């Protein structure tokens, strides 16, 4: 019996999945922590499930709604892991998923007072031996200058810093806040100053904005300064010359650090995120806001003058390539952010003239390689001067996407709003599941229709254990939570010298592509939702990454708000 191993929220739907080949309903019981049966019923037969290969039944125990801990569901001779009926865990998850970003910070010591001594570590990449530092980083292919690109977040289990992935992750953290101050009835109070365990927790600025700004400041440093060739364009990424092994704590990395060439995609990412930050910080920190806007406008102009600088897909030694050859979406996103921030006619013409305008590109949720939805979301959420009918059409496109997700999950044994075929489960599926569920949440914001909220919480059920492997993909959450995520510091050494990933870290999840040797050796022939192994070497299924954790943080933050007291 596969359940959300953490908690179902009182007042909301509660459904579990039973694996059973029986063609007729079977009896289920729900016992409380003293072993007393508190509810019982009959399963609903669902039959063969495409994405797992399992024969499944559904157990709907929504009608039992008494808060408590240690519940166990039993059916067909099997028991679930114990779980709670409570809103508390999702409220913790909001902050744990956000804490991931402080843990991933580069260029600053991670302090025990915020993360406990288990997760404290020296600063990485400040030119303290053996680090070569991000202080004066030269170009991989010579460019005649070096840049100081200290700071930012490490991308994932590696210590590269990639503008296109940093951009979407920073945008999402900023959007958590911007949504909360834009949607009627939303609650920004949980996002204020002093809510997170970070060094800026008493500076009078909402902590989630402080955390996002840590990355935005880094992104700004990746822009080629005036007076240099390619001024205004942005370097695609900075990372090690060669891949480092596991484990390598950030301050122990001795590899040379190098800037990859500029790209139009990175330039438009900076334009979009810096424009968004300029808007949000306008009254909070006018000086920073003005600096960010100037950089954004310069980047946008440089991208328009250089519309086709594609990052080399083969530049993948020592770091990921993050190459993307379709830039219509980045142009649309950047124009949308700049227009909503400035109201200027040039950006307006570029937004309304885009083939993606009014949600025409809303074919997936937030994704580093497909950013149209980020522009749509800003247009749909933040007050702006576009025609009301066009804003309404954008929202309709977003709810239409949400409806298609709900149609997909309606037939699944383990509902996950992502894909309907086994082959479609790619690297980072969990990240996309979360990033699609964020759109279900916005559809609820726009319409108030219960089906979307149900879809959001059902997605959390999947990620927290209601899946064919009975696996919670969020560290620290659930009886069988991931322990061995691919990470150079959280490398879970047997001698206890290095920790497991901290609570709230989010594994990339099932990947039918089996893109690493361990996955290939262990998982051949798997059905998509079973193409996963909690092995530290299996980087194509079990790594963490900022763009996945940002989708989860957005989701958990929304779900916490909607969970009542």
Give me the helices (H) in 111-155, please: 112-119
Residue 223 three-state SS: strand
Question: Which residues carry out catalysis?
Answer: 158, 486, 534, 543
Q: How many angstroms separate the Cα of 87 from the Cα of each of 16, 64, 94, 177?
A: 18, 15, 12, 21
Element (H, E) at 391: helix 388-409
DSSP string, 418-447: T-SSGGG--TTHHHHHHHHHHHHHHHHHHH
CA distance 241 to 158: 12
By CB under 6 A, tell whether 490 contacts ligand 9MR: no
Site string for ligand 9MR, 347-366 (x = CB under 6 A): --------------------
Binding segment for ligand 9MR (CB under 6 A), chosen from 319-327, 403-411, 475-483, 497-505, is 319-327
By CB under 6 A, tell whether 315 contacts ligand 9MR: no
Considering the complex, what minimum distance in angstroms separates the CB of residue 507 from ligand 9MR?
10
Considering the complex, what minimum distance in angstroms separates the CB of residue 108 from ligand 9MR?
20
- The closest residue (CB) to ligand 9MR is 320
332-347 CB burial, b ≥16 within 10 A, e <16 = bbbbbbbbbbbeeeeb
Residues facing 180 on adjacent strands? none
DSSP string, 49-92: -TTT--EEEEEE-TT----EEEEEEEETTEEPPPEEE-SHHHHH
Q: How many angstroms separate the Cα of 147 from the Cα of each of 23, 151, 199?
A: 65, 12, 26
| Matching residue, tokens 């596991």 | 246
Binding segment for ligand 9MR (CB under 6 A), chosen from 104-112, 433-441, 490-498, 537-545, is 537-545
Q: Which is nearer to ligand 9MR, 438 or 543 (CB)?
A: 543
Residues in the chain: 565
Instruction: Give yes or no for a contact between 490 and 501, defined as CB atoms under 8 angstroms apart.
Output: yes
Hey, what are 383's tokens? Answer: 């007050």
Nearest to 295 by CA among 213, 385, 236, 217: 217
Site string for ligand 9MR, 213-252 (x = CB under 6 A): ----------------------------------------
Binding segment for ligand 9MR (CB under 6 A), chosen from 67-75, 154-162, 285-293, 344-352, is 154-162
Considering the complex, what minimum distance in angstroms separates the CB of residue 462 from ligand 9MR?
19
Binding segment for ligand 9MR (CB under 6 A), chosen from 30-38, 279-287, 314-322, 453-461, is 314-322
By CB under 6 A, tell whether 428 contacts ligand 9MR: yes
By CB under 6 A, tell whether 155 contacts ligand 9MR: yes
DSSP string, 460-529: HHHHBT-STT--B-BTTSSTTB----B-SSS---TTSSSPPPPTT-B-----TT--SHHHHHHHTT--GG
Q: Which is nearer to ligand 9MR, 190 or 310 (CB)?
A: 310
By CB under 6 A, tell whether 329 contacts ligand 9MR: no
Residue from 10, 76, 320, 537 in contact with ligand 9MR (CB under 6 A)? 320
Binding segment for ligand 9MR (CB under 6 A), chosen from 23-31, 67-75, 150-158, 224-232, is 150-158
Question: How far from each other are the two terminal CA atoms of the chain, in whole angstroms?
Answer: 29
Instruction: Give yes or no for a contact between 440 and 455, defined as CB atoms under 8 angstroms apart.
Output: yes
Considering the complex, what minimum distance in angstroms separates the CB of residue 510 from ligand 9MR?
14
Residue 1 three-state SS: coil
Residue from 156, 219, 416, 514 in contact with ligand 9MR (CB under 6 A)? 156
By CB under 6 A, tell whether 158 contacts ligand 9MR: yes
Considering the complex, what minimum distance in angstroms separates the CB of residue 455 from ligand 9MR?
24
Please give the size of the binding site for ligand 9MR, defined by CB under 6 A: 13
By CB under 6 A, tell whether 138 contacts ligand 9MR: no
φ, ψ for residue 62 (rounded to 5)?
A: -55, -35
φ, ψ for residue 259 (rounded to 5)?
A: -90, 130
Cis peptide before 23 (omega within 30 of 0): no
Residue from 210, 253, 543, 561 in contact with ligand 9MR (CB under 6 A)? 543
Considering the complex, what minimum distance in angstroms separates the CB of residue 294 from ligand 9MR?
30
Binding segment for ligand 9MR (CB under 6 A), chosen from 320-328, 442-450, 520-528, 556-564, is 320-328
Q: Which is nearer to ligand 9MR, 407 or 421 (CB)?
A: 421
CA distance 277 to 274: 5
Considering the complex, what minimum distance in angstroms separates the CB of residue 435 from ligand 9MR?
11
**Which 159-178 residues touch ligand 9MR, going by CB under 6 A?**
160
Considering the complex, what minimum distance in angstroms separates the CB of residue 222 from ligand 9MR?
16
Residues that bind ligand 9MR (CB under 6 A): 155-156, 158, 160, 320-322, 427-428, 508, 539, 543, 545
């Amino acid at each position: 019996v596969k359940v959300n191993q953490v908690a179902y929220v009182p007042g909301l739907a509660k459904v579990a999945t039973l694996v059973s080949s029986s063609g007729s309903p079977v009896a289920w019981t729900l016992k409380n922590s003293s072993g007393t049966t508190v509810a019982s019923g009959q399963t609903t037969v669902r039959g063969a499930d495409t994405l797992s290969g399992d024969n499944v039944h559904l157990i709907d125990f929504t009608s039992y709604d008494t808060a408590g801990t240690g519940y166990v569901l039993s059916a067909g001779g099997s028991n679930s892991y114990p779980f709670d009926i409570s809103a508390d865990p999702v409220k913790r998850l909001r902050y744990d998923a956000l804490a991931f970003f402080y843990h991933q910070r580069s260029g600053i010591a991670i302090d025990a007072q915020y993360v406990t001594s288990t997760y404290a570590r020296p600063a990485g990449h400040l030119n303290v031996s053996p680090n070569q530092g991000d202080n004066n980083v030269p170009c991989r292919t010579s460019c005649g200058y070096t840049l100081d690109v200290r700071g930012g977040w490490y991308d994932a289990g590696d210590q590269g810093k990639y503008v296109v992935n940093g951009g979407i992750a920073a945008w999402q953290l900023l959007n958590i806040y911007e949504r909360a101050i834009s949607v009627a009835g939303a609650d920004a109070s949980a996002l204020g100053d002093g809510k997170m365990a970070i060094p800026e927790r008493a500076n009078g600025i909402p902590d989630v904005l402080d955390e996002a700004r840590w990355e935005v400041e880094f992104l700004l440093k990746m822009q080629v300064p005036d007076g240099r060739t390619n001024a205004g364009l942005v370097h695609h990424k900075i990372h090690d010359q060669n891949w480092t092994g596991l484990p390598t704590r950030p301050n122990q990395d001795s590899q040379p650090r190098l800037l990859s060439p500029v790209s139009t995609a990175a330039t438009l990412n900076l334009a979009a995120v810096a424009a968004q930050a300029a808007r949000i910080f306008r009254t909070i920190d006018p000086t920073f806001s003005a600096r960010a806007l100037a950089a954004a406008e310069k980047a946008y102009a440089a991208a328009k003058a250089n519309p086709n600088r594609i990052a080399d897909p083969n530049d993948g030694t020592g770091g990921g390539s993050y190459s993307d050859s379709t830039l219509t979406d980045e142009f649309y996103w950047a124009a949308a952010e700049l227009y909503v921030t400035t109201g200027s006619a040039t950006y307006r013409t570029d937004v309304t003239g885009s083939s993606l305008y009014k949600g025409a590109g809303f074919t997936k949720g937030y994704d580093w390689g497909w950013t149209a939805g980020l522009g749509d979301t800003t247009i749909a959420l933040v007050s702006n001067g576009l025609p009301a009918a066009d804003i309404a059409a954008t929202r309709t496109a977003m709810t239409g996407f949400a409806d298609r997700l709900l149609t997909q999950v309606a037939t699944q044994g383990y509902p996950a709003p992502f894909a309907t075929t086994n082959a479609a489960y790619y690297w980072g599926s969990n990240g996309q599941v979360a990033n699609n569920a964020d759109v279900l949440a916005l559809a609820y914001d726009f319409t108030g229709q219960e089906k979307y909220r149900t879809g959001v919480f059902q997605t959390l059920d999947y990620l927290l254990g209601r899946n064919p492997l009975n696996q919670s993909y969020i560290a620290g959450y659930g009886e069988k939570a991931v322990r061995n995520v691919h990470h150079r510091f959280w490398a879970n050494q047997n001698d206890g010298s290095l920790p497991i990933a901290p609570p709230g870290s989010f594994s990339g999840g099932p990947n039918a592509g089996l893109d690493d040797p361990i996955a290939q050796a262990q998982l051949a022939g798997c059905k998509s939702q079973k193409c996963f192994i909690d092995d530290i070497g299996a980087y194509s299924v079990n790594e963490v990454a900022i763009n996945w954790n940002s989708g989860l943080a957005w989701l958990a933050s929304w779900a916490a708000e909607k969970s009542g007291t």
